[in-house]
Amino acid sequence: MLKLLSILTILLSSSLFSGTIKIAVAANVSYAIDDLKKEFHKLYPNTKVLVILGSSGKLTAQIKHGAPYQLFMSANMNFPNSLYKEKVAITKPLIYAQGTLAMFSTKKQNFLEGLKLLKEREISKIAIGNPKTAPYGKAALQALKSSGVYDDILKKLVYAESISQTLSYTIVATDIGIVASSSLYSSKMKHFKKDQNWVEINPSLYSPIDQGIVILKDGQNSSEVEAFYNFILSEQAKNIFKKFGYIVP
């Protein structure tokens, strides 16, 4: 009888977590999301996680216009807070990680000058995220202004739609870029060396990039969505975020 009950419990658990969930994810998390999905899959092997990546601003606009996402992992707290106030999100936004900025170039640079390096003549194009749609772009702008170099390098700035596009621009089209530190911990970027190709920007130069998570209306009453939500706030997920250069609460 006990054996039968155990089998029934396993079957029931499997049936409860055997669908597909759709989550909207800020571009900076794209480098860590595969590891997060793999760890989640160990716990819930029958649940498929469909990820839609983009800038937090654009994803928020899509959600407000009825995009059928069930969970949103934003690059800051403003966007999920607005969704919660408008009752599009059903959970109060919580911080799952804090992002950090880095200055990156495919060519070796002397980073001893910090952001003053950007004023050098050899650097004619600098990639940053669009401050209006990408929280990392807003933070980059703060860092440039706080360090006193903004007015001198304004004409050099090339704006990307998201922080992942900022990385792409830095690799193929600009001399240097201000990117998410998380991107530089990915396996594809390991051949670029810290202090030679990139350096972290002093966090005191910009407001903390508190990244928020919410369950959306379409995820209401879904045990699978709730499971992924709880996983992102778990110690297992925090360890993965740390590995990609994030600060975790």
Examine the domain organization and report whether 163 and 134 are in the same domain.
Answer: yes
CA–CA distance from 203 to each of 104, 118, 143, 146 (Å)?
A: 16, 18, 8, 11
Q: Are 84 and 194 in contact (CB under 8 A)?
A: no
Examine the domain organization and report whether 104 and 196 are in the same domain.
Answer: yes
Whether residue 23 lies inside any domain: the answer is yes
Question: What is the spatial distance between Cα 92 and Cα 83, in angstroms, rounded to a whole number?
Answer: 9
Number of domains in the chain: 2
pTM listed for this prediction = 0.82
pLDDT given for residue 129 in this prediction: 94
- Max distance between CA atoms of the chain, in angstroms, equals 79
Average pLDDT for 239-246: 95
Q: Mean of the per-residue pLDDT values for the chain?
A: 92
Q: Which two tokens stand for residue 42?
A: 């160990």
Whether residue 249 lies inside any domain: the answer is no
Taking 60 as the threshold, does the pLDDT of residue 181 lie above it?
A: yes
pLDDT tens, position by position, 38-71:
999 999 999 999 999 998 999 999 999 999 999 9
Q: What is the CATH number of the domain that holds 60?
A: 3.40.190.10
Examine the domain organization and report whether 141 and 68 are in the same domain.
Answer: no
- Which domain covers residue 171, as residue numbers? 100-205
Examine the domain organization and report whether 72 and 110 are in the same domain.
Answer: no
pLDDT tens, position by position, 226-236:
999 999 999 99
Whether residue 32 lies inside any domain: the answer is yes
Q: Which two tokens stand for residue 100?
A: 């950090």
Taking 50 as the threshold, does the pLDDT of residue 205 lie above it?
A: yes
Examine the domain organization and report whether 27 and 150 are in the same domain.
Answer: no
Examine the domain organization and report whether 146 and 172 are in the same domain.
Answer: yes
Examine the domain organization and report whether 94 and 105 are in the same domain.
Answer: no
